Structure 1
Amino acid sequence: MDIKQLIHDDDAVSPVIGVILMVAITVILAAVIASFVLGLGDQAQQATPQASFSFDYEGGTERALTITHDGGDSISPKELYVRGSNMDNQTSGDGNTGQWTSTAVDGSLNSDSEVTAGSSARLGDDADDGVPSDYEVRVVYETQEGDSSATLAQDTGPDA
């Protein structure tokens, strides 16, 4: 028997690598199909939007709070809520100040267009006493189906 022939004999390497690759492809394909069959693929598409908001409180006689969308994803105003506590005139008992109402550049209210960078909502204009200085407020994203929600931003007043 020739030892050199045993060292250079690599006929079995190619079929073994082929079988390993076929098994790996089968496992990956099965995992992808299973994720969509079980509904995991739908959950990946319903991601929470990424957006940043700033808060500007005006004390004194105004006592108003302006919330501005600074940047990030655009969001439907039907899926964006402002919720808070210690805002007796702003809430309806459950701490919900309501859906986002954008203020356009000309001062008119616009609740149909997307909330994008530069859009703002102002609390305290319609209330008798305005927004108290010990407020706690959150900007909440909630899907229209109501199956998921997330707090995008939050702020507290200077006396909270």
Structure 2
Amino acid sequence: MFELNHKFGSGESSDERAVSPVIGVILMVAITVILAAVIATFVLGIGDDMQQDPQAGVDIDDADEEEVTVSVTSLGNADGVALIDPDDGHVLHDGKVVIEDDNGGDDDIEIDLTSGDDAVLDATGTEVTVELNDEASEEDEHTVNVVAYIGDDESITTDNGEVLDDQVEATATIGGFEVVGSADDG
């Protein structure tokens, strides 16, 4: 029987021959655990947390020195576009708004909206016009940010105290413009 083992066996003890099957089992278990973790990530929605920045297309027409018109040409993946006062982060609303000029003073600007009470545009083709009132001085410049947003994680409050679209998950500034004052000679 000794010679039979010697003739057919490799001469290794039975402990040495078990090394290869044990390594194979360990590798199979590791692969199974990794595969289960990857599948669980997508099934449980953990992979859905990768939010894209909002993207929208706007046309900013500043042909007139005293007014600027912002039109939405495409919403892309955004839920809407808002005009934001860069000083306090509030959405501009219809009517007169006090906004700080680039020289540190406060001036009123007139907001003329074609949709709603706030400078929030949520459809392609909508537009808003921002115009300085007559009290602004000629050298004053007012900056307004145009921001695209996707709804629901960080609130943006309007000047009226309302919250834009409950809460906003992501915002991206897609443009900005300045409205320059002009002296009223009349």
On the 8 A contact 1:36/1:42 being kept in 2, the answer is no
In structure 1, give the amino acid aligned to 2:111: Q
Report the CA distance shift for 1:121/1:25 in structure 2 as closer, same or farther (over 3 A).
farther
After TM superposition, give the deviation of residue 56 of structure 1 in Å.
2.4
In structure 1, give the amino acid aligned to 2:62: Y
Residue in structure 2 matched with residue 21 of structure 1 by the alignment = 28
Residue in structure 2 matched with residue 157 of structure 1 by the alignment = 178
2:133 aligned with 1:129: yes
2:102 aligned with 1:81: no
Report the CA distance shift for 1:133/1:120 in structure 2 as closer, same or farther (over 3 A).
farther
Report the CA distance shift for 1:42/1:98 in structure 2 as closer, same or farther (over 3 A).
same
Number of residue pairs aligned between Structure 1 and Structure 2: 128
2:64 aligned with 1:56: no
**RMSD over equivalenced CA pairs, Å:** 4.4
In structure 2, give the amino acid aligned to 1:23: A
Kindly provide the CA deviation profile for residues 96-119 of structure 1, in whole angstroms up to 9, marking residues without a partner as x. 943206xxxxxxxxx5xxx3xxx4
On the 8 A contact 1:83/1:140 being kept in 2, the answer is no
TM-score in terms of structure 2 length? 0.45
More strand by share: 2
In structure 2, give the amino acid aligned to 1:33: A
On the 8 A contact 1:84/1:138 being kept in 2, the answer is no
Uncovered stretches (5+) of structure 2, i.e. residues with no partner:
1-5, 87-98, 100-107, 135-139, 152-164, 182-186
Q: What percentage of aligned pairs have identical amino acids?
A: 9
Kindly provide the CA deviation profile for residues 24-75 of structure 1, in whole angstroms up to 9, marking residues without a partner as x. 33134235526765x634533x5443334442212246x2323443x67244
Residue in structure 1 matched with residue 70 of structure 2 by the alignment = 66
TM-score in terms of structure 1 length? 0.51
Report the CA distance shift for 1:12/1:41 in structure 2 as closer, same or farther (over 3 A).
same
On the 8 A contact 1:64/1:123 being kept in 2, the answer is yes
Greater radius of gyration (CA) = 2
On the 8 A contact 2:72/2:127 being kept in 1, the answer is yes
